[in-house]
Amino acid sequence: MRFCPLVIKPLWARLTAAILLPVALVTLTLTPIFTSHVKERVDSSRQSAESLLASEYQLLLRSMNESFNQVLATAENPLLRRILPRQASAQTPTWGLAAQSDWEQLEALFDTLLTHFGRYTRLAVIDTLGREWVSTSTAPLLTRPPVTDHWTSPAFQGAMSLQPRDLYVSPPHLCVSGEEESPVATAIDIATPIVDDQGERLGVLLFTLDWSRLTATLPHAREDSPGEALLVDARGQWLLPSSDGSRERFGHSLTERWPAAWAAMSIRNQGIATLDDHLLAYRSHDLRTQHYRSQAGMILSDPDTQPWHLGILMTRPSLWRLLMENPVQLLAIALVYLLSVAFGVYWVLSNHRLRELRQRALTFSREARQYAGEVQDLYHYAPCGYHSLDSDGRVIKINRTELDWLGYRADEVIEKRHYRDFVTPETRAAFDAAFQKVLGEGQEGSAECELLCRDGTRLPVAIQGKAHVTEDGFQYSRATVFDLSERKALEARLEKQALTDPLTGLGNRRALKDQAAIEIARSERSRAPLSLIAIDLDHFKCINDTYGHDVGDLVLQAFAKLARQVLRDGDVLCRMGGEEFAVLLPDTNREQALQVAERLREAIATTPAKVGRDATEEGTLAYTASFGATLVCAGEATLKPAIKRADSGLYAAKEAGRNRVQWEEA
């Protein structure tokens, strides 16, 4: 296993990483894009808020100035200068005192103002004593007269203290609207002194402005407006009239409800503040000092309420709002996340499968190498030889075992030697025949051969060859070579055992028969005489009976040893069974055979067998043997007739008293 510190092993951990990593990557990729998008939107919202504030401010100012100018212009109307002195001279309100035409003109003027502009709820002319002489109202509840006493009203008091063309402007306040649906309205009183041509103060002109009408035209009130207006006085009290959609109501305290907004607006005259979810563009306006845009000389107002603070509140763009405003975009992002996670999971799972397969392949390959090594070992160190030959009989592959047998190295043999070169000339024909069979249609062949090893030794082997044939025909032959040396040795041993008498180590009856065939053939070829002597130990039963069977065996062994010493190397001494023996004497005539028999008889008679002191006092036991001898006649294919004759001679020797040699003529 390669070392890799970043490899996370468990599948669940890799799956977690496969989910988190794509999410992180997509987030990292998208975040700068959306952040800059949000920033752009914030900047755009700021600009919108600022421009909306500017336009709203201008509109409010223009509307108010328009009213200011209308009040000032009306106050200078000659009708008022004519009507007021006449009314003032009357101790009680008397409508009939005014000239009918003046009154109608004034009424027409006031009606025009009321209906044409629509923003006034009441127009009143008040004399210096605070008595209202002329009044026109949108609320037709009040019948003329009564005369209202304005002596204590701030508007009257304020206006009376002013110079011509100066204005008193009250803060917005609640008043009776006269309408059933919304009996309470918000209004502003604008008052200015009425002065005659000589500068004498005649009274006060009072216009009550429907504050909601004035502010209804502001951009914030439009449904498609992106922002919301906010107008508070110097104490933070809400100045905009209550509307259905607005959360705030007239007179609410911004300082309590939204301290952050109030803090921003109250510190600076103008600016833009970033609140939690909102952007607030604001500026302050003091009626008393910013009157230059109207025709008013000076404006008097309640000092506690000035300046006003106007603000435009816009929802602050955020990433979430940006996403939520476009469902397609949101869906696309969700799809990107989903795809990236799906890809990650798929990658991990397929990688996991791949790892498994790789691991399995590694295991298989390791096992295959192991098996290949084992097969290689089995091939090279098998207890038999393996070799492959091409069609010419050249060695193309050979295992170690066979190389060790031959005593050569692989590089000395492979592609260099023909296999038949290692086969002994005597067995080469068998090998060639088998190899031809392998090359032939049978494609199989076997032979028992002898291999000629480097050290000169010969190794008997059995070779079993088989052709390896493909569609292209014969490729090579594969042969298994078995070492036969052990088998051969065993066979030889068994063969020897089969021909040997185990007690005396002499050849047995069968050995005599085999050897006789050879000697008879040789004698036929050489015309040399071949003699046979039959030997039988005398009174052997008596030895057995007297000294025991073991002593009898010792006597038999002593005889075999002694006979070997007496006989020539070429003589064939065999035990025929029991205490009977036979000697085949090649190239031996009658006289010679009789001499051999006599020499042997005498040696036996004079050489007691060693049987140990347990058996006899001297440790030896004298014994004798009788002999029957004969010639193997020319023309006798087997030894049988000669044995029969020798046995006859032997029988005669026994009959004659034992311990003697008797010749039997053919």
Ligand X SMILES: Nc1nc2c(ncn2[C@@H]2O[C@H](COP(=O)(O)OP(=O)(O)OP(=O)(O)O)[C@@H](O)[C@H]2O)c(=O)[nH]1
Instruction: Note whether 449 and 461 are within 8 A (CB).
Output: yes
Contacts of residue 455, defined as CB under 8 A and 6 or more positions apart, other chains included, come to: 407
Six token digits for residue 564: 């070997």
448 is catalytic: no
> Cβ closer to ligand X: 189 or 647?
647
CB of 576 to ligand X, least distance (A): 10
> Cβ closer to ligand X: 38 or 537?
537
CB of 624 to ligand X, least distance (A): 9
Partner residues linked to 450 by β-bridges: 460
Largest CA distance in the chain: 217
CB of 504 to ligand X, least distance (A): 9
Angstrom distance (rounded) from CA 428 to CA 52: 119
Q: Beta strands 299-301 and 167-169: pairing type?
A: parallel
> Cβ closer to ligand X: 437 or 654?
654
Give the footprint of ligand X on this chain (CB under 6 A): 503, 536-542, 544, 549, 552-553, 556, 578-579, 654, 658
CB of 532 to ligand X, least distance (A): 19
CB of 567 to ligand X, least distance (A): 20
> Cβ closer to ligand X: 160 or 582?
582
> Cβ closer to ligand X: 383 or 657?
657
The string of DSSP codes covering 529-550 is -EEEEEEEETTHHHHHHHH-HH
CB of 661 to ligand X, least distance (A): 15
> Cβ closer to ligand X: 16 or 546?
546
Six token digits for residue 227: 């922002």
Angstrom distance (rounded) from CA 498 to CA 501: 8
Within 13 Å of residue 4, how many CA atoms lie on the same side as its CB? 6
> Cβ closer to ligand X: 298 or 498?
498
CB of 548 to ligand X, least distance (A): 8
Closest CA to 283 of 49, 557, 489, 127: 49
CB of 423 to ligand X, least distance (A): 47
Kindly tell me the burial class for residue 61, based on how many C-beta atoms sit within 10 Å of its own C-beta (0-12, 13-18, 19 or more): middle
Catalytic residue among 50, 579, 636, 664: 579
Kindly tell me the burial class for residue 146, based on how many C-beta atoms sit within 10 Å of its own C-beta (0-12, 13-18, 19 or more): exposed
Instruction: Note whether 459 and 483 are within 8 A (CB).
Output: yes
Angstrom distance (rounded) from CA 582 to CA 502: 16
Instruction: Note whether 233 and 252 are within 8 A (CB).
Output: no
**C-alpha torsion angle, residues 595, 599, 605, 611 (rounded to 10):** -140
- Closest residue to bound ligand X by CB: 552
Angstrom distance (rounded) from CA 272 to CA 252: 22
Q: Beta strands 572-577 and 167-169: pairing type?
A: unpaired
Strands (E) across 139-183 are located at 167-169, 173-176
> Cβ closer to ligand X: 379 or 651?
651
Contacts of residue 448, defined as CB under 8 A and 6 or more positions apart, other chains included, come to: 427, 430, 460, 461, 462, 463, 484
> Cβ closer to ligand X: 353 or 549?
549
**Residues catalogued as catalytic:** 579
